Structure 1
Amino acid sequence: MAVANLSPEQAIRTEMRRQHNNRRAVRIWLGFVLLALFCLVLVGGATRLTNSGLSITEWKPIHGVIPPLNAAEWEEEFKLYQRIPEFRQLNSDMTVDQFKNIFWWEWAHRLIARGIGVIFALPLIFFWVTGRIEKRLRWPLAGILALGGLQGFIGWWMVSSGLSARTDVSQYRLATHLVMACLIFASCMWIMRGLSPHSDDPAPTKNSYRWAAAIAIFSLFQIYLGALVAGLDAGFTYNTWPLMDGAVVPGDLFIQQPFWINLFENPKTVQFIHRLGAYTLFALALVNMVIALRAASSTTHARRAVVLFALIAIQAAIGITTLLLEVPLHWGLLHQAGALVVFGFAVANWRGYYGEYPRATVIAERD
């Protein structure tokens, strides 16, 4: 039936149904992107924990998809690795077979990153050309794609820091790389949540959205601190809790000069600040939950506050266990996964206070 032959009410229902279907399709697409990003971050964490990040010493955005296919190509790749300080100083007795173990982690990390570019760009073009993406979201989504391209450059910038003078990558660049990944993840989550149905429940208090924003932003800051801990291998030291180095507040936190450099380059100081960040995030989530439950315990906002606190409490327990066990691979990855789950839920919770994106309606003209 032609739109022009519909009554205004029928035209509105038809348009709303079309928008509903389009939004559902876009949400499903962004859900797949979020899942892929989640996997990418985990493989990146495994790459770090297995010391595999410097195994591929060249950046080949296209040709790099193809791994070595025969013994000669493996020898060629291994010779490139033998040129860097990590091999000469730490792995000089490594064999080709041992090299393959670290190579595959880094190759998989880069392959997933390239794959995300494809599963983001191609559907975006399709949805854009066919008019399934609302005008308000076209350029924000294009901006996310641009951030993904920038992230590729940041990744190589990070790797290049460990190819000449260092035996590992710069913790500053590692933290930048992880934070950018989280910003891309948060952007997709924000848009997907805005396209999802929302309840009509009022916010528990007029400041609830500020609490939600503070928790989401501080979650990202805590991830940044965790990246510094990973970059300095600080999690492999001072593996006691609740005391650190035998004290509530350990000594020698500002032993380096100038004093502020300890915040970024002293493993002891960085780990201690990461602990303080965890306590702060736990307290913010607890206060937010108590306020929400006291103000309106039956609303969806209050229930989300409870879930958010529970996720942060579980993540804290995982973090403590990971520290006490001296960061085994599986616990380290679980801790990183928990951080992303907390951050993603915190962003979705924050976005939930702004309601669903307004829907446009079309009223057909009568013949």
Structure 2
Amino acid sequence: MKSKVTMQDIADRLNISKNSVSQALSGKDGVSEETRQLIVDIAEQMGYVYPAARKKRRMETSGNIALIASDFAFARKSFFGEIYLSVEQETRQRGKHLLIQSIDKDSESLLILPSFLENQDVDGILILSHLSTSYTNAVIDTDIPTVLIDHHHPAIQADCILTNNRFSAYEATHHLIELGHRNIGFMGNIDFSPSYYERMEGFRLALHDYGIEANPDWIITDAIEQSEYIMKKMTTVSTQPTAWFCVNDGLGFLVNSTLHQLGYQVPDDVSVCSFDNGQLSRLSTPLTTTMDVDLKLFGRKAVEQLFWRMDHKHEPYMELLLPTKLITRESTAAPRPAK
């Protein structure tokens, strides 16, 4: 039996990018008219089934909504699990059935889509957290309405539901500054997620607005959530800042415990502020000041936007920024007066 011709097959035949093929066959801007016609001609020769033809096969709605995410995201049950439950509840209330698929590393790298996407068995797609840009665009190329949850990228054209990371990190840093801190460190991995990069931007903006110069020794942008790594990083710092801002509660927990191991008292010697209001912020000693993310709101807004997109397929794509709330706990206090 002859296998189905894909956009990648056409791209390989013409030695061009898959994205160019997608733009040409979907009628989007980005390729010249000459290139578009060449791609269309080759696609017809190879027997490619156009998205328009796939649409005709599903004139009636399937009643299904897809939720896909990486194995890593689904494993973070305390954070993404709550979003998933909210999505499931909202989808059910709207009379739809939720189909869930975890995407492993091999499928992601080889751009292997779940069968219910390949077969057009869903009316809309929710992508939870970070999948590679190439994989996300392969999902979008199915021409099924898609909304991203807690992730975005300039090369991805889709609606996104996001935390207002910059302003939230600004508020967290402002809290530390208002307490009197001027020596503030940053702990995060800005390459892991756009969210963490944006939180660093919010941190830097707050310092800038208050005329505080960041000490490069206290700006750690490649942090790994491992106790050995945090210990190594914090023991190489000649002097501790009076406060740390951490991009998530996992790092906040590790910074807190490492400070205790090094003989510091939190918050008497060093304050710690983190982000997400997850379980670890409520298990640490002392409890960690953090930025609360409304996970149920994430799920509700994602489903609302997807259903709107299903009815407004040609409207401009939008990014919706959700607010956070500062939860002040025992891990932050005014710095001790200099001796």
With the shorter chain as reference, the TM-score category is under 0.3
Structure of greater relative contact order (alpha carbons < 8 Å, 6+ residues apart) = 1
Structure holding more helix per residue: 1
Structure holding more strand per residue: 2
TM (normalized to structure 2)? 0.23
